[in-house]
Amino acid sequence: MAPEQRQASQSALRHALTMVMLCVSGGTIYNVVYIFEVYYIPTQQALDLTKSQMGTLMGVFGAVSLLSYSPGGWLADRVSSRKLITLAMLLTGGTGFYYATFPSYPVALALHAFWGITIALIFWNAMIRATRNWAPSCAFCRTG
């Protein structure tokens, strides 16, 4: 294989792997927060929470996320998407492991607020930027 062909092949593979990683990270980061919707009753029993407390956990996550999206765009414009996505995945995953120890209600509230920051402030806008940068730059690919 000629060096140009090898380089093009490696570039195409890297391009495809980048999209796979963006899809996997985008699909899994929310599992930490939303998994208890699937396992609502077992989670409620394990954490010894009322239905109101369970709702408050998601409310805290939603409120912090809502406040974090706009500053997240500013952050994504100034810091490498790769670094932000990596940081968000590590922080969210690490605290998810701690959540698996069934912490107290105040700690669970703090974790949900923290996930609002790691997911909305750090991760989401960086993923959107990385996806946009991943797309090919060609005249017929643009809209508008």
What integer pLDDT is reported at residue 132 of this predicted model? 80
Q: What is the mean pLDDT of residues 53-68?
A: 96
pLDDT tens digits along 98-142:
999 999 999 999 999 999 999 999 999 999 888 887 766 654 555
pLDDT band at 88 (very low <50, low <70, confident <90, very high): very high
Given CA atoms 126, 127, 133, 138 in this order, what sign does their dihedral have? negative
Using the structure block, give the residue that is written with the tokens 């709702």. 55
Give the pLDDT confidence score for residue 11 in this predicted structure.
73
Per-residue pLDDT, 1: 63
Q: Check whether 61 has a pLDDT greater than 60.
A: yes
Residue 6 banded pLDDT, cuts 50, 70, 90? low
Instruction: List C-alpha distances in Å: 34 to 4, 49, 61, 125.
Output: 46, 16, 10, 19
User: Which 3 state secondary structure label does DSSP give 137?
Assistant: coil
Q: Which of 79, 33, 32 is nearest to 58 (CA)?
A: 33
**H helices of the chain, where?**
3-28, 31-38, 40-47, 51-78, 81-99, 105-116, 125-134
The pLDDT value given to residue 138: 55
pTM summary value: 0.82
Write the pLDDT tens digit of every residue in 64-86.
999 999 999 999 999 999 999 99
Q: Provide, rounded to the nearest whole percent, the portion of the chain with pLDDT above 70.
A: 86
